[in-house]
Amino acid sequence: MKKFYIETFGCQMNAHDSEKVIGTLIDKGYGQVESPEEADLVLYNTCSIRDKAEQKVFNRLQEFKRKNKGKTFGVLGCVAQQEGERIFEKAPHVSLVCGSASYNHLPQLLVQLETGNRRVTGLSLDTEDTFETPMTRRDNPHRAYITIIEGCDKACAYCVVPYTRGPERSRTSESVLRETRELAELGYSEIQLLGQNVNSYRDPSPAALTFAQLLDAVGRVDGIRRVRFTTSHPRDFGKDIIDAMDANPNLCNQVHLPVQSGSNNVLAAMQRLYTREDYMRRIEWMKNSHRNIAISTDIIVGFPGESERDFEQTLALLDEVEYDSIFSFKYSQRPNTPALKLDDHIPDGEKGRRLTILQEKQRTIQLRRNADYIGHVEEVMVEGFNKATGQWIGRTTQHKTLNFTTPQPTEESLTGRYLSVRVLRAGPNSLVGEAV
Ligand code: SAH
Ligand code: SF4
Ligand code: F3S
C-alpha cells in the first residue's frame, strides 16, 4: 500500500480540508502514516495569512527534501494557490501544487502522479464547486466541523483569503443537514459550522434557508447538543442569528465577531464595510439577549496609517465590549492585497508596542470576566484528561476551558461526556472547578 504523510497549518477551514483530503486518499487506497520518513507521498497543507508564510513553507520543503530523498512531495492550501507554479521553480522536488478550490480534482491528480507525471497542478479559482466527500476522516469523535460556505467575496485590504480560496460558494442546506444527521448517528454531539464568512451563506437548494435558519435546523437534529459557527463578518451579521440563539438552547453561547479596529478611519482604509457604530449595534443585540453570550474578536494593530489616536480607539473598544477573548496580530503585508498600495507603514517596533499594550489590557478584562463565573455551575463537554495536572479538560458552552477534578477518582474515561462542574477559580485563559 502507498503511504502518505500530511502536515497542516492555518485555520479551522484548513484543518477540516485536511480531514477531507485524508479521507479522499484513504478511499483511493493510500494509508496514512505519522512521519514523512515512512511515507511515499508527503503533503503539506499551508496557510498564507500572515508574516513570511511563503518563506516558511519553502524552508520546510527544503527540510523535507534533505531528510526524504526520492519521495513525492505535494503542496496544498493557501500558499499553493498563492504561489502556484512558482513553487516548482523554487522547490523543484515538489510534484503537486493544489489549492483548496481544486480538491475535488485530487483523485485525478493522484492518478496523474502515479502514472509518472512530474508536475501536476490544481489551481483554477473559477469554480462553483464545494469540496464535499462522504470519506472525511475526522480526528475528533465527538466534535465535528462541517463546511457550509467556501471562499470569500469581501475585499478587506490586508487579506489574502479571497485570492487563495476563491469566490464564495455555499453548500445546499440539504447536504449540510444530511451530514449533521449522519454525524449524530455516529455519536457526534457538537457541530461547528465553518466558512470564511458564514453570514454570507446562500442556500442553493429550493429550501432556501437563511444562515440563521440553517443554524437552528442543525441545532434541532436529534443527538446534537451543541452548535458553534465561525467566522462571522460584522457587515452580514443579522439580528436573526441572535434570535435563533435565544430560541434554541443547543446553539452555543458564543459568537466570534472580528472587529479588526476600533477606529472608523482604519476600518474604512481596511475596506471592512462597517463603522464602529454598526459593529456596536451588533454587540448590543448580543448583550440584550437572554443568553450569556461570550464574545470574541480578531484585532490587527499597526495597519498602514493607524495613528496613536486610532489605536486608542481600539483600546477603548475593548473596554466597551469587554470581550471574553481576542486574537490580536501585527499587520503584515501580504501579496496581491490592496493594502500593498498604501504607504505610511508603521515600524515593526511600534506595532509590537501596541500589540503588548492591547494584550495586557485584554488580560485584565478576561481575568475580570472569568472571575464572574466563580461559584457558578457550568455544563462542560469533556475533551480529555491532563496527566500532568490530574485534571479533566472541559469546554463550556461559551467555549471557555474549564479544567476540573471529580470528587472521587474515576477509572473510566469521561471524554465526550457532558457534566456539570462548579467553578472554583478563574485565570485569564481558563477556569478551574470540581464536577458536581
Ligand atoms: N474570514 C475571517 C478572517 C480570517 S483570517 C474574517 O473575516 O474574520 C483571521 C484573522 O487574521 C483576521 O480576522 C485578521 O485579524 C487576521 N489577518 C488577516 N490578514 C492579516 C494580515 N495581513 N496581517 C495581520 N493580520 C491579518
Ligand atoms: Fe479576509 Fe475579509 Fe474575507 Fe475575512 S472577510 S476572509 S478578513 S477578505
Ligand atoms: Fe490561512 Fe488560508 Fe485559513 S491563509 S487562515 S489557511 S484561509
Q: Output the tens digit of pLDDT for each of the chain's 436 residues.
A: 899 999 999 999 999 999 999 999 999 999 999 999 999 999 999 999 998 889 999 999 999 888 888 899 999 999 999 999 999 999 999 999 999 999 999 999 999 999 989 999 999 999 888 998 888 999 899 999 999 999 999 999 999 999 999 999 999 999 999 999 999 999 999 999 999 999 999 999 999 999 999 999 999 999 999 999 999 999 999 999 999 999 999 999 999 999 999 999 999 999 999 999 999 999 999 999 999 999 999 999 999 999 999 999 999 999 999 999 999 999 999 999 999 999 889 999 999 999 999 999 999 999 999 999 999 999 999 999 999 999 999 999 999 999 999 998 888 899 999 999 999 999 999 999 999 9
| Whether 171 and 220 share a structural domain | yes
Amino acid at 223: G
Whole-number Cα distances in Å, 190 to 223, 224, 309, 371? 9, 6, 42, 26
Q: Is residue 84 left, alpha or beta, with left meaning phi > 0 and alpha meaning psi from -120 to 50? A: left
> For 363, which DSSP code?
H
C-alpha cell at 285: 443585540
Q: Which DSSP letter does residue 260 get?
A: B
**Closest-CA residue to 213 (of 193, 186, 196, 189):** 193
The answer as to whether 134 is a domain residue is no
Tell me, yes or no, whether 8 lies in a domain: yes
Residue 162 near ligand 2, beta carbon < 6 Å? yes
CATH of the domain at 44: 3.40.50.12160
CA of 161 to the centre of ligand 2 (A): 6
* Pocket residue to mutate for ligand 1, from 52, 78, 201, 298, most atoms within 8 A of Cβ: 298
- CA–centroid distance, 427 to ligand 3, in Å, is 30
Q: What is the pLDDT of residues 5-61, one digit of tens each?
A: 999 999 999 999 999 999 999 999 999 999 999 999 999 999 999 988 899 999 999
Picking from 36, 13, 201, 194, the residue whose alpha carbon sits closest to that of residue 99 is: 13
Same domain assignment for residues 271 and 401 = no
Same domain membership, residue 340 and residue 282: yes
Looking at residue 139, what is its pLDDT?
87
Range of the structural domain that residue 32 is part of: 3-122
Is residue 11 domain-resident? yes
Closest CA to 271 of 318, 317, 337, 198: 337
Whether residue 292 is found in the same domain as residue 335: yes
239 close to 277: Cβ distance less than 8 angstroms: no
> DSSP string covering 158-191, please?
T--HHHHH-S-EEPPHHHHHHHHHHHHHTT--EE
- The confidence score (pLDDT) of residue 344 equals 82
Nearest CA to ligand 1 atom 10: 298
Contact 218, 177 (CB under 8 A): yes
C-alpha angle 316/339/279, rounded to 5°?
A: 35
Q: Are residues 220 and 290 in the same domain?
A: yes
Inter-residue contact 322 to 366 (CB < 8 Å): no
Residue located via cell numbers 498600495: 341
Domain holding 282: CATH number?
Answer: 3.80.30.20
Q: What is the largest CA-CA distance in the chain?
A: 64
- The answer to whether 361 and 408 are in contact (CB under 8 A) is no
Q: Is residue 128 part of a domain?
A: no
**Pair (209, 355) in one structural domain:** yes
Q: Indicate whether 135 belongs to any domain.
A: no
In terms of residues, how long is the chain? 436
Q: Enumerate residues lining ligand 1, CB below 6 A.
A: 49-50, 158-159, 161, 196-197, 231, 233, 258, 260, 298, 300, 329, 331-332, 334
Residue with the smallest CA separation from ligand 2 atom 1 is 159
Q: Look at residue 41 and tell me if it is in a domain.
A: yes
Per the domain annotation, does 137 fall within a domain? no
- Taking only the tens place, the pLDDT of each residue in 78-96 is 999 999 999 999 999 999 9
Structure-block grid coordinates of residue 120: 501536476
Which phi and psi angles does 53 have, rounded to 5°?
Answer: -55, -45
Do 261 and 398 reside in the same domain of the chain? no
Closest CA to 97 of 23, 46, 31: 46
Judge if 347 and 229 occupy the same domain: yes
Domain check: are 200 and 162 in the same one?
A: yes
Residue pointed to by grid coordinates 505519522? 34
- Residue 180 to residue 191: CA distance in whole angstroms: 8
213 and 270 within one domain: yes
- Quick check: CB of 50 below 6 Å from ligand 2? no
Residue 265, in any domain of the structure: yes
Please tell me the total count of domains within the chain.
3
* 104 Cα: distance to centroid of ligand 3 (angstroms): 18
Q: For position 70, what pLDDT does the model report?
A: 84
Q: Note whether 109 and 238 are same-domain residues.
A: no
19 CA → ligand 1 middle, Å: 23
